[in-house]
Structure 1
Amino acid sequence: MSLPESNPGVELPRDPEKAIELPLTETAAPEPVQRVPTQRQAWSLAQAVPGESATAALQSNTTAPSPTAAALSKHATHLYTISYLIFFAIFGTLARLGLQALTFYTGAPVVSGVLWANVAGSLVMGFLTEDKNLLREEWGDAPMSLTDKNENERKEDALAKLQKHKAVKKTIPLYIGLTTGFCGCCTSFSSFIRDVFLALANALPDPSTTSIPSRNGGYSFMALIAVILLTVSLSLSALIFGAHLALALGRLTPTVPFKLMRRIVDPAMIILGWGCWLGAVFMSIWPPDRNSGSETWRGRAIFAIVFAPLGCLLRFYVSLLLNARVPAFPMGTFAVNMIGTVVEGMCYDLQHVRGLGTGVLTGCQVLQGVMDGFCGSTTTISTWVAELNGLAKRRHAYLYGATTVGAGLGFMVVIMGSLLWTRGFDEPVCG
């Protein structure tokens, strides 16, 4: 499935009352039936007609750009989107690792290190999905006239503006980068499910002690419930609070200038995104601390940010391909969460087997990088809770949530449990 064109126009719903129930995530958009010029469409027209300003193009009667301008705009937007995803995948992964490091300390009241990263990413997701000011010049236009209109017409105008906001917003490269890139990579479903299994198996690391005290099966079940409820409830609360925060700060939220984005930020992001990724690859080959003999940089962050963009791009394209297939069950998000969870479990096993993760420093660091980078970025809590909150019927949300957690934990029991409950975990050399 190809990336949406960069000049989709105003997308009005076929059935407005039904369309407004669609969950507002970063990849699901209402079906278009009518096109009206937008800022980005006018920009394409201006590029196709030298000497004409974007404002003049927007005010003209032309409602679609030339085929050449449309093709150029589509490919340029595709490149901008990928560049934003790469940059914010790296940034989101580093934010998650940093929050995990701050969370995991002696005497910490919460032993699931990824909890606060999931909460932070969900909060930002809630703010971005509800905000209508930050990217207003991308999707907005002149205020609709409310004079000489009855109440029903005013409601229809307001609904049309809301649908325009929802439809066009998801085609903006910066918005996709912030939600799919930063929020998706700052949160991690695979790490959450890994901690759920470790809590069940009484193997969850405790920063307050060097040894893990034994407990019976009943207490292990309570630990499992605690990790699930804490993560899901706090992440959902953070998502809703982020949305409320966007509404409360509506008048204070600045608007990013459209021309600044098109002329400076978008082209610069190509260099910045790909340059940061290439720099991470070079640092993984020649780490700054190579002469010291420890080479801890690669294990702590560098390998993770090398693999992070791959996971983010996989999640983005799978979500575009599958999420719209079943409106009541987002198959794309479910699929990537399961893929990342399976890979996380296998890498964790390899890291805790003598002779692999316990004997070779670089091999152990690469496995850690795959778990923190690829798996952490392939899976997402922020989009998952946004979908749970946005599904029109509550029973669909409960079914989707329970199936995702149950399937993920089932994979972990088979993959990690088969090693832990037979020969046990060995201590990795990079642990």
Structure 2
Amino acid sequence: MTEAASHSREPTYLDYHARIPQRHASKQERNRPEASTQAQPSLNEVDAPEPVQNRQDDSAWHRQTHLEDESLESAPTPPSFRTRPSSSPPSPQRDPPSPVATQLYIVSHLVFFSIWGTLARLGMQWLTFYPGAPLVTPVLWANVGGSFVMGFLSEDRRLFREEWGLDNMNSHAREKALEQEQSDPAAAKKAHAKTKKTIPLYIGLATGFCGSFTSFSSFMRDVFLALSNNLPTPVNHPYATVPSFTSTIHRNGGYSFMALLAVIVYTVALSLAALNVGAHLALALDRFTPTLSFRLTRRFIDPLIVVLAWGCWFGAIFLSIWPPDRPSGPSSRGSWANEVWRGEVPFALVFAPIGCLLRYYASFKLNPIAASFPLGTFAVNMFGCAVEAMCYSIQHVPITSSAGALVGGGRVGCQVLQGVMDGFCGTTTTVSTWVTELQSLRRRHAYVYGMASVVAGLCLMVIIMGSVRWTVGFDTPACVTMRTSL
């Protein structure tokens, strides 16, 4: 073969194979200058790693701990304590915390943080529903924010590092915990995760605040409204006569299906992403995050929360009875017909703790039944969706009474229904816990659980709200809500 023929021949498989970087080569060979130079032309998007590194979901070497492998409600007894050894002699062991006091603190934390979570969700909805908003389902950002905080709390190992306190452990248990942390960090992390889920302050932040900040029922309501072409959209362009953003023009059914998929996809995707970003932030701030003293939380914060929680709840009840914008109130707007406070905030705060307590105890009792399918979270989400659909339907249809046919039973009835939807349903259902469970379950179980939740929730909305929407239709509510005014 001549030299010209050798240069003009077709490249063979061996020629291409020689250009591929040898991944199994030794470290010295890969670090050689000529080897790295030869490998540079192949460094492109084709050589990117696979998105799923672990194809066998049940493989033993997978480092992730699955929800099916452990019971979230169980905690080591006595609680472990992981910290650096102290040079000072340990204090004598004290009596363990009273179970009755602990339950009172848990309930009080749930009441207190459910109120603040509801306020945060309502405020986020008002802030993110503005002219020209790129996403017109404002509860999305509340779900994202709650999932972000939940991710931080779940991954953090500093805030509650003292767990149930050094004084409640003997020297043998303390030394064993320290030895476990040094020899098996993964087991120590798992034990800490179990223990901190029994601490009242953590329960209040994770279950109370994050669970109330997010709302699965509002998410499903927006999915149905997107399907039925009733999703409110802020006015974005100038008009000679400003139209109502609660009325929509007719569109093809295919567009409604696309809108349904859009609300589901971006809500689930952004909530899962926020959960992971929150966990990443906890890891990044691990060395800077302070540790809450057990004595401080048990002796000062927990008793203070008891007073604040019940005081805030009774305060919300008093505000519902005597709203500031009543005819004789400090922010009076004239007659009772102009009163709007109760429908926007106070009624929601009255019903919020009830839904949060229901969700906590339902999950506590039902979730251990099936490790691969969190039955408690599923049950409260479906129950909240059903109540949300019923209240929304009643609020938007005329109800005959002695005063005539009033939409939603009149102004007060409309406000109570709005309070049940924003308060009770909003705190009974949760997205933050739902996405945390999706992230923790095995891949197959996560898809089954996630799809079952979305499909069942949407079916409830279609059966209850759809039977009203596609028969008598929806009317404008008799009270002022976020969906009737900017």
TM-score range, shorter chain: 0.7 to 0.9
Q: Is residue 371 from structure 1 mapped to residue 418 from structure 2 by the alignment?
A: no
Distance, in Å, in 2 between the alignment partners of 1:106 and 1:36 is: 52
1:378-423 per-residue CA deviation (whole Å, 9 max, x = no partner) reads: 00000000000001x2010000000000000000000000000001
Q: Select the residue among 196, 201, 205 that pairs with 1:174.
A: 201
> Partner amino acid for 1:56?
S
> Partner amino acid for 1:196?
V
Name 2:343's counterpart in structure 1.
299
Summarize the alignment of residues 418-429 of structure 1 with structure 2, pairs less than 5 Å apart.
418-429=467-478
Aligned residues: 384
Distance, in Å, in 1 between the alignment partners of 2:460 and 2:79 is: 47
Name 2:318's counterpart in structure 1.
282
1:169-193 per-residue CA deviation (whole Å, 9 max, x = no partner) reads: 0110000000000000000000000
In the TM superposition, residue 213 of structure 1 has moved relative to its aligned partner by 2.0
> Partner amino acid for 1:336?
V
- Tell me the secondary structure at the aligned position of residue 100 of structure 1: helix
Question: Does the 8 Å CA contact 2:316/2:349 hold for their aligned counterparts?
Answer: yes
Question: Does the 8 Å CA contact 1:315/1:378 hold for their aligned counterparts?
Answer: yes
> Partner amino acid for 1:429?
A
Q: Select the residue among 385, 396, 409 that pairs with 1:341.
A: 385
Q: Which runs of 5+ in 2 are unaligned?
A: 1-59, 83-88, 236-242, 328-332, 400-405
Question: Does the 8 Å CA contact 1:323/1:331 hold for their aligned counterparts?
Answer: yes
- Tell me the secondary structure at the aligned position of residue 475 of structure 2: coil
In the TM superposition, residue 57 of structure 1 has moved relative to its aligned partner by 2.9
Name 1:321's counterpart in structure 2.
365
> Partner amino acid for 2:249?
P
- Tell me the secondary structure at the aligned position of residue 135 of structure 1: coil
1:88-130 per-residue CA deviation (whole Å, 9 max, x = no partner) reads: 0000000000000011111111111100000000000000000
Question: Does the 8 Å CA contact 1:333/1:384 hold for their aligned counterparts?
Answer: yes
Distance, in Å, in 2 between the alignment partners of 1:102 and 1:186 is: 14
In the TM superposition, residue 164 of structure 1 has moved relative to its aligned partner by 2.3
Q: Is residue 268 from structure 1 mapped to residue 304 from structure 2 by the alignment?
A: yes
- Tell me the secondary structure at the aligned position of residue 136 of structure 1: coil
Name 2:147's counterpart in structure 1.
122
Name 2:189's counterpart in structure 1.
162
> Partner amino acid for 1:399?
V
> Partner amino acid for 2:92?
A
In the TM superposition, residue 298 of structure 1 has moved relative to its aligned partner by 0.6
Q: Is residue 99 from structure 1 mapped to residue 143 from structure 2 by the alignment?
A: no
> Partner amino acid for 2:458?
L
Q: Is residue 76 from structure 1 mapped to residue 101 from structure 2 by the alignment?
A: yes
Question: Does the 8 Å CA contact 1:353/1:425 hold for their aligned counterparts?
Answer: yes
Q: Is residue 330 from structure 1 mapped to residue 374 from structure 2 by the alignment?
A: yes
In the TM superposition, residue 154 of structure 1 has moved relative to its aligned partner by 7.3
> Partner amino acid for 1:366?
V
Q: Select the residue among 217, 224, 238 that pairs with 1:190.
A: 217
Query: 1:374 and 1:195, CA in 2 relative to 1: closer, same or farther beyond 3 A?
Result: same
Task: Give the helix-richer structure, 1 or 2.
Answer: 1
Query: 1:81 and 1:154, CA in 2 relative to 1: closer, same or farther beyond 3 A?
Result: closer
> Partner amino acid for 1:268?
L
- Tell me the secondary structure at the aligned position of residue 290 of structure 1: coil
TM-score, length-scaled by structure 1: 0.84
Q: Which runs of 5+ in 1 are unaligned?
A: 1-15, 40-53, 59-64
Q: Select the residue among 287, 290, 293 that pairs with 1:257.
A: 293
1:179-223 per-residue CA deviation (whole Å, 9 max, x = no partner) reads: 000000000000000000000011111112623122111000000
Query: 1:146 and 1:81, CA in 2 relative to 1: closer, same or farther beyond 3 A?
Result: closer
1:249-285 per-residue CA deviation (whole Å, 9 max, x = no partner) reads: 1111111122111111111111000100011001101
In the TM superposition, residue 135 of structure 1 has moved relative to its aligned partner by 1.2
**Percent identity for Structure 1 against Structure 2:** 58
User: What is the root-mean-square deviation in Å for CA atoms of aligned residues?
Assistant: 2.7
Q: Select the residue among 198, 221, 231 that pairs with 2:267.
A: 231
Question: Does the 8 Å CA contact 1:236/1:385 hold for their aligned counterparts?
Answer: yes
1:13-62 per-residue CA deviation (whole Å, 9 max, x = no partner) reads: xxx999972439xx924464x646659xxxxxxxxxxxxxx95234xxxx
Deviates further, 255-264 or 237-246? 255-264
Query: 1:238 and 1:269, CA in 2 relative to 1: closer, same or farther beyond 3 A?
Result: same
> Partner amino acid for 2:284?
A
Distance, in Å, in 2 between the alignment partners of 1:31 and 1:266 is: 20
Distance, in Å, in 2 between the alignment partners of 1:134 and 1:307 is: 30
In the TM superposition, residue 341 of structure 1 has moved relative to its aligned partner by 0.2
> Partner amino acid for 1:174?
L
